[in-house]
Structure 1
Amino acid sequence: MDEFILRTNKLTKKYTNDFALEKVNISIKKGEIYGFIGKNGAGKSTMLRLITGLAFPTSGSIELFGNDNRNELINAQKRMGAIIENPALFPNMSAYENLEVHRLQKGIPGSVCIQETLELVGLSNTGKKKAKNFSLGMKQRLGLAIALLSDPEFLILDEPTNGLDPMGIVELRELIKKLNREKGLTVLISSHILSELHLLATSFGIIHKGKLLEELTAKELDEKCRQHLRIKVDDPIMGATVLEQNLSTTDFEVMQDGTLKLYKYLDDVRNVSRALTNHGLVIEHLSQNGDSLESYFSKLVGGHKE
């Protein structure tokens, strides 16, 4: 049975007459890297603030680690680490001093964890350099170190790649994968950059104007975006036989409605059409389908009726 780290039920946040979130249901299983995708202003940060207890919902409920009682939620939130919007740093302190303050605030015994965490995020050699003199990317790393300091079970990151150069983005991605793989850390990452999350996340939630449009796994997203020929013939079983025997391919699927999705011969539609018609099949539909990840997101968001 799947263990859920987070579930929300009709979670809603309303400001005067405007909904920042409206009846949002998301589910995150233990061990997942969940990519929370939406344009700026879609409601991502509001959702993360509600989950971490920095704001309170207008209605609906949040369940963390199987707990939805108010007091239980407060204890469950201690098992999380988070960066919401910009990391809260002490500008006149070094990286080490920043972590020491947060260690004391969180009641973490011993200071060994500080150097270990700084090494983990690549800030072990910053010495006495003050945080106000850090680059934006270094500040993001320090924020991540603060989130990881208590060795959380659930990590929440709000636009963590902001300010990072391409190499920094790659390093952060590999670090998150390592934490997920070696420590079993469950991660929720919000971003408006679908292409980057696709390299990292194992499941996705797509939000637009406060409403969750879709939840899907990485495999399902790949399937939706994979280029293919969509074929509709009067005899799907015979059509499948022709693809397998005459075109020598098994890289196709027969959908429930009888449509054939062929992932080969994308540049040789004429040969596919000829093979089908030579066996007496009537072609009712034949087209190339599939999107890039960005165009799929744009189509989903753009086609959503308010």
Structure 2
Amino acid sequence: MQIEANGLGKRFHREWIFRGLTHLFRPGTATALLGPNGSGKSTLLNTLSGQILATEGTLTYSVDGQVVPVEEVPRRLAYCAPYLELIEELTLTELLHFHTRFKPLRPGITPTRLIELMYLEKSRHKLVRDFSSGMKQRLKLALALYADSPLLLLDEPTTNLDRTGVEWYLEHVAVSVTNRLVLVSSNVPEEYGFCQQQLSVTDFGAKAAR
């Protein structure tokens, strides 16, 4: 997927979170959205995904040269963020079968194989609500990394992960970004080391927007 932002800006009440972003996010590339906590990285990520409406400017989505209406973007993206909720009343196996009815996995990846890739074979029949915060984050990441979608959005992807979890993320993100447009919101260099491009939110953030 390709995203073209032209003069993009977002304001809450009278405060501009960011303003004046013009950038072409090309398919097959990974871009890190950088900035300190509270700088508007997550807001920008959600705006680029079409989940939050921009206050000004335009966003154009396309796949293979064909324009994609904004209302169709959600089914073409995979998203991982610490604030996204899982259905905790289901077991891991139940959740995967339910989730993949709406968001299919990449060819060759089945729910059973995904459990193996997460190293959660012993927890396949465990309720998600009983998972540790690190296990939940690994599950969120796996659902996004291995979704069959051309747009991958990662917001602070190593939140709640220990060193082993971070190494798992680095291993699996490396094999999951090929031929996708990837956007990573982060202020941790290790999370976005694979990105070819970097955009600092402070360059078009609140100070720049005044």
Is it true that 1:206 corresponds to 2:200 in the alignment?
A: yes
**CA deviation digits over 1:28-50, x for unaligned, max 9?**
22222211111111111111212
SS in 2 for 1:21: strand
**Number of residue pairs matched?**
208
8 Å CA contact 1:49–1:84 kept in 2: the answer is: no
Is it true that 1:34 corresponds to 2:25 in the alignment?
A: no
How far did 1:305 drift?
10
Match of 2:111 in 1: 114
How far did 1:189 drift?
1.0
Match of 1:168 in 2: 165
8 Å CA contact 1:155–1:188 kept in 2: the answer is: yes
AA matched with 1:185: R
Match of 1:184 in 2: 179
Structure 1: 5+ residue stretches without partners: 214-303
Q: TM-score, normalised by structure 1?
A: 0.59
Match of 1:56 among 38, 53, 58: 53
Structure ranking higher on relative contact order (CA contacts 8 Å, 6+ apart): 2
1:29-178 equivalences under 5 Å are 29-65=26-62, 72-106=69-103, 113-148=110-145, 150-178=147-175
Distance 2:5 2:190 in 1: 25
SS in 2 for 1:146: helix
Distance 1:124 1:153 in 2: 28
8 Å CA contact 1:43–1:209 kept in 2: the answer is: no
Query: Equivalent pairs: percent with the same residue?
Result: 26
SS in 2 for 1:90: coil
SS in 1 for 2:199: strand
How far did 1:51 drift?
2.4
8 Å CA contact 2:16–2:209 kept in 1: the answer is: no
AA matched with 2:164: M
8 Å CA contact 2:11–2:55 kept in 1: the answer is: yes
RMSD: 3.0
Q: Mark the structure with the bigger radius of gyration.
A: 1
Match of 1:19 in 2: 16
Distance 1:212 1:121 in 2: 39
How far did 1:65 drift?
2.5
